[in-house]
Amino acid sequence: MGKTICQKKRRMHRPAAIRQRHRHDIENRSALNQKTFHQPFRMKPAADPALSHVFARIGKPPEAPFQPDPFQIEALEAIGKSDCLVMAPTGSGKTWIAREAIQAVFDRGGRCWYASPLKALTNAKWVEFGLQFDSANVGILTGDTKENTDAPIIVGTTEILRNQLYDAMYRGEDLNCDLVILDEAHYLGDEDRGVVWEEVMIYLPPRINLLMLSATIGNGEEIASWLSGIRGKECTVIQEKRRPVPLYPLFLHPSGRIMPYLEKRKLYSRVSEFIARPSRGGRPPHFGEIIRVLDRFDLLPAIFFLKSRSECDAALKTCRGPAALPFDEAFETETADLMERFPYLSNHKQLRDLKVFRVASHHGGQLPAWKFFVETMMKKGHLRAIFATSTVAAGVDYPARTIVLFNSDVFNGHAFQPLSGTAFHQMTGRAGRRGQDKIGFMLAVPGRFMDIVHIRRLLYREPEDIISRIRNDFTMTLNLLLSQTPEAIKDIFSRSLAAYQRSHRSRAKALEVQGGDLWADFLRHVAFLKQEGFVDERDRLTENGIWSSKLRLDQPLLIAECLRRHAFPETDEKLLAAVIAPFVYDGDQEIALSRQRLPRKLMRAFRHVTNSIEEIARRMKAAGFSVAPLLLWTAAVIYDWARGGDWDNIVDETGIADGDLASLISRTADNLRQITSLRETHPEMAALAVKAREAILREPVVFE
């Protein structure tokens, strides 16, 4: 890419005035936090006398033979007969239930599907189950990895499971499976991905038992009642509220004094006095100082939940001291082993902070291999602290003795909102390690964006209810028409969680449910597909509609239009990867390029694609469907990478974060994988897509 980049700027997919206010808010918060938390400040670690009996409980519980809890036994008995929803705190042993349920099915020659929302979690379970059931019996299916797919135990992402159900319905077959496990089942309520989870629950044949696992569902009985109604079989709810490791909330005074957060259910008297003062005085400590206080009272390791990636990275600088920590042979051996496994990380700019001061930053802007490295070192007890964004609380399994909160609100993609009960329970669920801690701690640090009273309420608040997120899109419409009549599809919509909640809830609560009128929206999608030649007048897919249904993507019609018009490069796999990239990017970064400095063949290919979809995009917009813009810089970046460009050079020249670049490449590869499925109708393009994937899937994007 060389010197093609002449300007970098940020763009939000929101009106200009809103973007302006949001940017101003972020900058003000960032500046304030840099000022208040990162100034050198020597605290005097002290503990309120009321904590003496609490701190005396710190330590490792005595080793004892494993004995399953009653709720685990009940769950196993239930899933052996029918469906089961298990709601239990993080670390309480939900995975044990899954393993034992799989074992029971496996022992009698059955097949199991374990679905999770995160590729990292999927990879971890693949390794874990391979050790228990033998790797020959366990396969994996994600957008990046496809191995041993005929194994009796499959671990994969929920989207892949949904796609397999689409295929089974098209072939008129039953999914070859006896047990499906949906881990992190609260993703059913996720605004962006919940629709996939709901589709799985609707399409899954009743013959197959369904086991759902979650720590944070507020309306489990309602979800179970809905499932029982549409599947015609009992869904048993197993709920365990007792944490495996008790949680004790603490408050850190700016002076360095730790005190209880509560007296019974009220704020501790000295905490109340602190927040009642007109001027609280003092300066909140920086992160390194807080670690020193936590270390003084044996409260490490800790997870610091911070508001942004940049703050997580900046926090590392405050942890650097004049002397390194004592030599630890186990730490050095583990680090050397992982560096040998991931040689690219040997030059990671944050490696010294991890090796010398035993702290790390973990967020979506990091490389997948780096996040795995950090998680591994944390789980093995080698790190003192991790600085992470709140998104790390969901799914990734590395608890700590203490979690530290600085903000009582969180940015939801549009604005800052008070922390929800669900998010709070996800965070505090990381406090206390089963088998390693007798007690876990939450430490609240006062500041401008910390509502101490709100945190007190959250300590007693249940997780929020899950509401339906089902909605139509062209992928769903095409795949339903592939195997169902419109009358059958109308019946499917009537069995959705959205329909159930609208008919069984009070009017006020029913208004919260998304989905609108699903049938009317479905007909709107069908009308457009007819107009574009994907559906005929008998509401059946045309030849174009049939192969387009295999493009299970965010923008299937635009990709299909390019294929129909032969707009994609047909002989150059690097160019193909480049022009697919703009279709997958949904971030908010915009990088202005000097088009004159870009390779001519890239510009020709990009223009050919954009010109080919111009008319259908205009018609989509006129019909009320959103069409995301195609950004040239994404094509330029992927083209540079596909041609063997240096990772660090691309990152430095564009300003894109490592994790965002890795995500762009992975999602491009996933879209190319969808094109490879068109072997029968587009054999040359499918073969070229295979080569394009190979050109971009290399270290550090993929790792073993």
Task: Tell whether the model's pLDDT for residue 29 goes beyond 50.
Answer: no
Domain 474-696, CATH among 1.10.101.10, 1.10.10.2840, 1.10.3380.30, 1.50.10.10:
1.10.3380.30
- Mean pLDDT for all residues in the chain: 89
Give the residue extent of every domain in the chain.
38-60+245-458, 70-239, 474-696
- Give residue 47's region: left, alpha or beta (phi > 0; psi -120 to 50): beta
- Beta pairing, strands 402-405 & 440-444: parallel
| Closest listed residue to residue 606, CA positions, set 585, 586, 582, 627 | 582
Q: What is the pLDDT of residue 514?
A: 63
Spatial distance between the Cα atoms of 131 and 146, rounded to a whole number of angstroms: 18
| Number of neighbouring beta carbons within 10 Å of residue 675 | 26
Topology of the domain comprising 70-239: Rossmann fold (3.40.50)
Share of the chain above pLDDT 70, in %: 91
Task: Tell whether the model's pLDDT for residue 675 goes beyond 90.
Answer: yes
- Please report which confidence band the pLDDT of residue 495 belongs to, taking 50, 70 and 90 as the band edges: very high
Contact of 179 with 454, CB cutoff 8 Å: no
Mean pLDDT of 247-251: 98
Task: Tell whether the model's pLDDT for residue 245 goes beyond 80.
Answer: yes
- Please report which confidence band the pLDDT of residue 515 belongs to, taking 50, 70 and 90 as the band edges: low
Q: What is the pLDDT of residue 143?
A: 76
Q: What is the pLDDT of residue 301?
A: 96
Mean pLDDT of 255-263: 94
Q: What is the pLDDT of residue 290?
A: 94
Task: Tell me if the domain spanning 38-60+245-458 has CATH number 3.40.50.300.
Answer: yes
| Number of neighbouring beta carbons within 10 Å of residue 346 | 9
Task: Tell whether the model's pLDDT for residue 278 goes beyond 80.
Answer: no
Task: Tell whether the model's pLDDT for residue 41 goes beyond 80.
Answer: no
Q: Give the torsion sign (CA, 395, 401, 406, 409).
A: positive
DSSP 392: G
Task: Tell whether the model's pLDDT for residue 28 goes beyond 80.
Answer: no
Q: What is the pLDDT of residue 277?
A: 83
Task: Tell whether the model's pLDDT for residue 44 goes beyond 90.
Answer: no
- Name the 3-class secondary structure at 384: coil
Check if 38-60+245-458 and 474-696 are the same fold. no
Q: What is the pLDDT of residue 506?
A: 82
Q: What is the pLDDT of residue 8?
A: 38
DSSP 389: E
Range among 23-27, 192-196, 617-621 with highest mean pLDDT value: 617-621
| Number of neighbouring beta carbons within 10 Å of residue 52 | 9
Low-confidence winner among 21-25, 53-57, 115-119 (lowest mean pLDDT): 21-25
Secondary structure of 93-144 in HEC code, one letter for each residue: CHHHHHHHHHHHHHHCCCCEEEEECCHHHHHHHHHHHHHHHCHHHEEEECCC
Mean pLDDT of 453-478: 95
Mean pLDDT of 40-56: 86
Give me the amino acid identity at 640. D
- Please report which confidence band the pLDDT of residue 40 belongs to, taking 50, 70 and 90 as the band edges: very low
**Calculated CA dihedral for residues 302, 307, 312, 317, nearest 10 degrees:** -90
Spatial distance between the Cα atoms of 2 and 11, rounded to a whole number of angstroms: 23
Q: What is the pLDDT of residue 395?
A: 53
Mean pLDDT of 193-211: 97
Contact of 602 with 575, CB cutoff 8 Å: yes
Non-local (6+) Cβ contacts of 633 within 8 A are 5, 590, 591, 592, 593, 654
Q: Which single residue is written with the structure tokens 């007296």?
A: 263
Q: Is the pTM of this model over 0.85?
A: yes
Task: Tell whether the model's pLDDT for residue 174 goes beyond 50.
Answer: yes
Give me the amino acid identity at 185. A
